[in-house]
Structure 1
Amino acid sequence: FAHGAKNILALVREKSPGAKVYFYETWARPDKVYLDGASYRGEGLQAMQTDLHDSYLRVASLSKAVGLVLVGQSFLKAIEDGVAVVSPYNEVEDGKVDLWAHDHFHASKYGSYLSACTFFAAITGEDPSAIANGDGSPAASLGVEQEVATRL
Structure 2
Amino acid sequence: MQRQEAADVKAWRRWSVALTAFLAGTAALPVRAETILFVGNSFTFGAHSPVMRYRPDLVRDLNNEGIGGVPALFKTFAEEAGQNWTVSLETSPGKDLAFHYEQKRREIDGRWDVVILQDYSTLDAQRPGDPTRHAEAAGLIASMLRRANPRVRIELVTTWSRADLTYRTPSPWRGKPIDAMADDLAAGNAYALRRNPEIAGAIPVGQAWNRAWRDRVADPNPYDGIAYGQVDLWTWDQYHASAAGYYLEALVVFGKVTGYDVRRLGEQERAGRDLGLDPRVVGRLQAIAQAELTQAIP
| Contact 1:132–1:139, Cα closer than 8 Å, also in 2 | no
Q: Which residue of 2 aligns with 1:87?
A: 221
| Cα separation, 2, equivalents of 1:74 and 1:131 | 17
Larger of the two Rg values belongs to structure: 2
Q: Which residue of 2 aligns with 1:73?
A: 207
Unaligned runs of 5+ in 2: 1-133, 286-298
Q: Does 1:131 align with 2:280?
A: no
| Superposed displacement of residue 26, structure 1 | 0.7
Give deviations 1:44-92, integer Å, cap 9, x for gaps: 2222122111111222332254232111111111011100011122211
RMSD: 1.5
State the SS of the aligned residue for 1:97. Answer: coil
| TM-score, scaled to structure 2 | 0.48
1:23 corresponds to which letter in structure 2?
L
Match of 2:230 among 81, 96, 101: 96
Q: Does 1:10 align with 2:143?
A: yes
Q: Quick one: structure 1 residues 49 and 84, their matched pair in 2 at CA, closer, same or farther if it must change by over 3 Å?
A: same
2:243 corresponds to which letter in structure 1?
K
State the SS of the aligned residue for 1:21. Answer: strand
Unaligned runs of 5+ in 1: none
Taking the TM superposition and a 5 Å limit, the aligned residue runs for 1:3-152 are 3-61=136-194, 62-134=196-268, 137-152=270-285
| Superposed displacement of residue 27, structure 1 | 0.5
| Contact 1:19–1:65, Cα closer than 8 Å, also in 2 | no
| TM-score, scaled to structure 1 | 0.92
| Cα separation, 1, equivalents of 2:201 and 2:170 | 34
Q: Relative to structure 2, which stretch is displaced further, 20-29 or 56-65?
A: 56-65
State the SS of the aligned residue for 2:156. Answer: strand
Q: Relative to structure 2, which stretch is displaced further, 54-63 or 114-123?
A: 54-63
| Cα separation, 2, equivalents of 1:125 and 1:64 | 20
2:237 corresponds to which letter in structure 1?
D
The total of aligned residue pairs comes to 151
2:156 corresponds to which letter in structure 1?
F
| Cα separation, 2, equivalents of 1:143 and 1:49 | 27
Q: Quick one: structure 1 residues 36 and 116, their matched pair in 2 at CA, closer, same or farther if it must change by over 3 Å?
A: closer
| Contact 1:99–1:108, Cα closer than 8 Å, also in 2 | yes
| Contact 1:131–1:138, Cα closer than 8 Å, also in 2 | no
Q: Quick one: structure 1 residues 36 and 58, their matched pair in 2 at CA, closer, same or farther if it must change by over 3 Å?
A: closer
